[in-house]
Chain A
Amino acid sequence: MSAELFSLFYQFADVFAFLILSAAGLAIVFGMMGVINMAHGEFIMCGAYVTVGLVNLGVPLVIAQILAALTAGLIGVAVEFLIVRRFYKRPLDSLLATWGLSLIVTQSMLLIVGSAVRGIGTPEGSFAIGGYTFSSYRLVLFGCAVAVLAGLYIVFMKTRFGVIARATMQNAAMAKALGARTGRIYAISFGIGTGLAGLCGALYAPTMTLIPTMGATFVVESFVTVVIGGANVLLGTAPAAVFLAVIRMTLNASYGQIIGQIGMLFAVILIIRVLPEGLSSVLVRRGR
């Protein structure tokens, strides 16, 4: 019985980690600046490729993953400065611009790096409970997802940068009038967002096949999580991930992956119909 219970928790943790890690970066960028980053998947891919490249050069996995997230973050800052900055008043155009960027990056990677890269293998370690065996690395992923949520909470709620960032998010013009350098806040937020995307790629790199279009496998999940979460990303993302993870895990376990995916997307449609502002709108109302 305890094996079944642990199995349930493990599956929930696995889906939850996937949703949080793939959505966190997108949520920050969308929530902070209203920009829908269509190149989100490519930043995930970037994190994965840098990780694998560094590991092949002999860098230990954990350090490679940290460096990969930093690389994606720095590239994000550069992309914000060169492209996204010019589109803050034109959200639809920013969507197109980042989508174009994603196409260019995917195709360039295919031409430069090739169609497939040899994987590095998941760190060893598995354990058995009852008749089931589990990979320890999946629990590390869950730990990282929780750490990302905690880290975001601390950065945005407990630091001076966080206060200014939230002020910019609520009313950019007023924040600017009060002396906040909103341009820099935007650049840093975009960098944090893409850095988190890079972290997602870095963490999943050992468990997956690396191809230039790999970001696409994360994109659907990340978008639906952000959409369900709603406008206030700091409040909405975690409950959205819990909600979707429970639905997906239950359906996956009883009816297989197809029904799991259909069910999750169906739940998304329902939520958007009932709560157009997402889960965070309910939480914000409660909070008041």
Chain B
Amino acid sequence: MNSGRMLGMAVLSAVLGATALCAAQAAEPLKVGLLEDVSGDLAFMGMPKLHGSQLAVEEINKSGGILGRQIELIHLDPQGDNARYQEFGRRLLNRDKVDVLIGGITSASREALRPIVDRTSTPYIYTNQYEGGVCDASMISMGAVPEQQFSTLIPWMVEKFGKKVYVIAADYNFGQISAEWNRKIMKDLGGEVVGEEFIPLGVSQFAQTIQNIQKAKPDWLLTINVGAAQDSFFEQAAAANLNLPMGSSIKVMLGFEHKRFKPPALNNMHATANWFEEIDTPEANDFKMRWHAKFPDELYINDMGYNAYNALYMYKTLVEKAKSTKLDDLRKVIATGDACIDAPEGKVCIDPKSQHTSHRMRLISVGPKHEVTVEKDYGTIQPYWLGQIGCDLTKKNDKDQYTPSHLPSKS
């Protein structure tokens, strides 16, 4: 009896082993390493990013994979901890030997990862909108950047509401550099920054900030506060009847505050976005239907999740055009300027000089019942700023992040 079972097991494992071997010979799966927070303070933003990646992988695998190879998604959860981002990044790059690394939420986590990626020859795709300026051949950015978000939003806010702005920003690289962008653009417009307040992450009480704002008497607010704790600002400002127009590069389409707070806390919020769930086009609606079919409990498909979905299709396009997964070969495709996909927002392409993505930008506003309306459609905007200031990755790999006050040295 016992030996009979042993024999059976042996036969079974031999058969299984043989089939596994055959499959391996057919095509090794492509390994995609994914680092997204699905626990910790930013889990509510990171969850849609994981979902977007899973949806894209499922679709691509169903339709035959990339160059006939199936995708194997290896997701690790760094829990919002930058040290863990580095540890898990090393693990995916060195131990799992992934073909591409995707992910990172905060700009701090991206900057923690970038030096580690730079030591390898693995491509890294960052899928968030961010403060812009990273000129690094290893990194492809799928999200929107300041020339797409701030250069559209801020002039519109100034024209509509007035020249005085008060800034509330999270106190880390994203908030600091975004505030710098605002200063530069306001200066060019002849506007005035009447106050800037940087808030440590995790702070949730804003009574004093609200009074500082009332004292400074701005025409509108730029809110680039980050995370669930800092989002409490909206509820507390509404309760104190602050009642000022607000603009942001991360609210609504990213943090879906209009879904998380009771109306009218987000009333009169304005943002420029390449994606928000309320986009009403046949392509977008089809995408939303597929997403909600797979993840019926999703509160909101945010732009990060949407960009994460696009990232895999962009990667597929690059690999299929290059017929290779090597970073250098992928970059040759990018250098031709033909690295484009038909995304739910429309056609988006990677700019060869900066390896950032063009986007169709729309300005949206939130009404008193938290309804979202499109105020203005800017069409496709190129990520032009890095190219203008002299970043050209087809010629030179700077591996640096530039800001309006930190420009490439003229050589």
Contact = CB atoms under 8 A, between A and B. Distances in A.
Q: Do A and B bind each other?
A: yes
Interface in A100-117: 106-107, 110, 114-117
A134 B240 contact: yes
Interface in A186-220: 206-214, 216-217, 220
Contacts of A260: 208
Contacts of A10: 207, 211
Question: What range describes how many residues of B lie at the interface?
Answer: 35 or more
Interface string B184-209: 00000000000001111011110111
B159 interface: no
B106 to A, nearest CB: 15
A135 B171 contact: no
A3 to B, nearest CB: 10
B378 interface: no
A6 to B, nearest CB: 11
A118 B211 CA distance: 26
A110 B171 contact: no
A261 B260 contact: no
Contact of B208 (A114, A207, A220, A253): A253
A213 B41 contact: yes
B205 A256 contact: no
Contacts, number: 136
Contact of A249 (B44, B208, B263): B208
Contact of A217 (B202, B214, B235): B202
Nearest to B41: A213
Nearest to B39: A110
Interface string B232-255: 100110111111000000000000
Interface residues of A, number: 49
A126 B212 CA distance: 17
Most chain A Cβ neighbours within 10 Å, of B171, B203, B232: B232
B203 A119 contact: no
B144 interface: no
B215 interface: yes
Given A107-B39, A137-B239, A257-B200, A116 B228 contact: yes
A258 interface: yes
B261 A133 contact: no
A115 B302 CA distance: 14
Given A211-B44, A213-B40, A216-B202, A119 B214 contact: no
Nearest to B259: A118
Contact of A214 (B199, B217, B228, B241): B228
Contacts of A135: 207, 236, 239-241
A258 B239 contact: no
B262 interface: yes
20 contacts: A18-B205, A107-B39, A115-B46, A116-B260, A116-B299, A119-B261, A121-B238, A131-B214, A132-B214, A133-B214, A133-B243, A206-B235, A211-B43, A216-B202, A217-B202, A217-B204, A253-B212, A257-B199, A257-B200, A258-B171
Interface of B: 38-41, 43-44, 46-47, 171, 197-200, 202-205, 207-209, 211-212, 214-215, 217, 228-229, 231-232, 235-236, 238-243, 259-263, 265, 297, 299
